[in-house]
Amino acid sequence: MSGHIRWLIVTIVVAVASIWMVLPDNPGIYLDLNNDGKAEIARTIAIRPGLDLQGGLRVLLAADLPADQITAGDMETARRIVENRVNALGVVEPVIQLQEGANRIVVELPGISDPETAIATIRETGLLEFVDFSGLGDVSHLYGARILTTAQLEQQAARQQAQPTTAPGEQLPTATPATPQPENTGTTDENAPIVNPRTGQPFVTVMTGAGLQSAIAQVDRLGTEWVVNFTLNERGAEIFGDFTARHIGQPLAIVLDGVVISAPVIRDALTDGGTISGAFTQDEAQQLAVQLRYGALPVPLRVESVESVGPTLGRVSIDRSIRAGILGVITVLVFMLVYYRVPGITADIALLLFGIMNIALFKFIPVTLTLPAITGFLISVGTAVDGNILIFERIKEELRKGRQLNIAVQAGFDRAWTSIRDSNLSTIIICVILYLFGSTFGAGSVRGFAITLALGLVLNLFTAVIVTRTLLILVMQVVGDKLERRMWWMGI
């Protein structure tokens, strides 16, 4: 009995937490662990509708190199980096997929209506460089400035080779090594990128982000300031080790998309990695670590098109779909109550908790809800009912054999457990396959279906087996004698 009381307490705690998360005006989770006025844990809890439910933007990125210079592995790496960067920077849940048969990446941003915001987000996934600032002394005035580098010129040359006419607004600065535009030389273009004032030439790129292996924001050993620790891959260690050994005491700029984001001074030869310090706040250090981790793309990308996408279902269709789903759930609840009576009541309670837990997880994870994702959830509701039906039918078989009620209930759950476990497990395996298949362009909606169905199957193992069993045994503790005398209440 004590074991069932413990499970009852667990069920109540889970139910209260789930109901709190499902509330429409849920404030989210914001915890100030250090009492410094900043929330170290900040989690918004809200439903995230997909592109087909609320509309948004679809951005098409195209490789800016000739096709013979790009491999499938390069494009997959670029897709993964774009996805990581957009997710790590805290923007809306994106759908980022490769377009089969072309060197393009499709980015879908649900709920975004401003094209400039979308393009600005995508452009964050550009060229990361470590640039030589030797001999410039104090370079603090260059923080945030746009500079011209040799890597940018190489990228521009590759673009011109691949496509002579680039998309408006997407080309890099038009200077070339032979005709650079030095700073303050009478040019009429106030927005022209800055070149090296010592040489009048573009700044020299020592290494791009391709030489990095990892980067993480941490507190230094003394616990006094935030720093960014990074490691280099084999090629990066070779380039960086030689350069830093020869330029100790000189500044080295970190440049993203041509903009200087930091310029720490080299203190030691860095052969396998190092530490970037600069009186960073926690947010600044984490932001820099994100930029270092995900700033390097194996191929340059340009924004080829941006289009606004309206909800494909429409408001009326969405409302009717919701009503149909609610009607289906109510029908199932009534069926369980009428056909199985007292066990049906416990199953209905477990089923309601099942639905609340699913919605709570959709908001907490969060899961992007598209129409296929909602379909996966509704199918999981049917699966949850199947588990209860299997259990109750086994109990009825035991009661018809003349078993006592408590023994029949115990046997019913024990004998049904293996069938429920194996059937759910096999379906979860299919969900995993569907999820992996959904990474292919054009099949992204399959991933939402697989995620919600798999979540439902996992939760079903808790509600159908643990919650229903706990509630039914507690009911037997209270009115077990009456149920023994009136088997009609057990559905017989």
For every residue of 205-260, DSSP letters joined together read EEEEGGGEEEEEEEE-TTSSSEEEEEEE-HHHHHHHHHHHHH-TTSBEEEEETTEE
**Cβ distance 327 to 111 under 8 Å?**
no
Task: State which amino acid sits at residue 111.
Answer: G
Mean pLDDT of 258-276: 84
Please report which confidence band the pLDDT of residue 148 belongs to, taking 50, 70 and 90 as the band edges: very high
**pLDDT score for 395:** 93
Determine which helix (DSSP H) or strand (DSSP E) holds 30, and give its type and residue range.
strand 29-31
| H and E: helices and strands count for the chain | 13, 15
- Domain ranges in the chain? 2-27+314-490, 128-306
**Cβ distance 143 to 260 under 8 Å?**
yes
Strand order in the sheet with 205-208: 205-208, 128-132, 252-256, 259-262
- Biggest alpha carbon distance in the chain? 102
Which CATH number applies to 128-306?
Answer: 3.30.1360
Burial class (CB in 10 A: 0-12, 13-18, 19+), 472: buried
**pLDDT score for 394:** 93
**pLDDT score for 314:** 58
**pLDDT score for 101:** 66
The 10s digit of each residue's pLDDT in 26-69 is 888 877 666 655 555 667 788 888 777 777 778 888 888 888 88
Domain at 2-27+314-490: CATH architecture:
Up-down Bundle (1.20)
Averaged pLDDT score across all residues of the chain: 80
Task: State which amino acid sits at residue 52.
Answer: D
**pLDDT score for 439:** 56
Return the DSSP state at 132. E
Mean pLDDT of 374-382: 89
Q: List the Cα angle 139/141/147 in 5-degree steps.
A: 80
**pLDDT score for 359:** 94
Share in percent of the chain as helix, strand, coil (round to 5): 50, 20, 30
Return the DSSP state at 462. I
187 pLDDT higher than 50 = no
Q: Which two tokens stand for residue 446?
A: 């399959």
409 pLDDT higher than 60 = yes
Q: List the Cα angle 171/172/174 in 5-degree steps.
A: 100
404 pLDDT higher than 70 = yes
Task: State which amino acid sits at residue 492.
Answer: I
Please report which confidence band the pLDDT of residue 344 belongs to, taking 50, 70 and 90 as the band edges: very high
Q: What distance in Å separates the CA atoms of residue 316 and residue 310, rounded to the nearest whole number?
A: 14
Task: Residue 218: name the closest of 273, 296, 144, 141 by CA.
Answer: 273
Mean pLDDT of 395-407: 90
CA torsion angle 210 216 219 225 (round to 10): 40
The 10s digit of each residue's pLDDT in 167-179 is 444 433 333 333 3
Return the SS3 of 261: strand
Mean pLDDT of 187-204: 79
**pLDDT score for 472:** 92
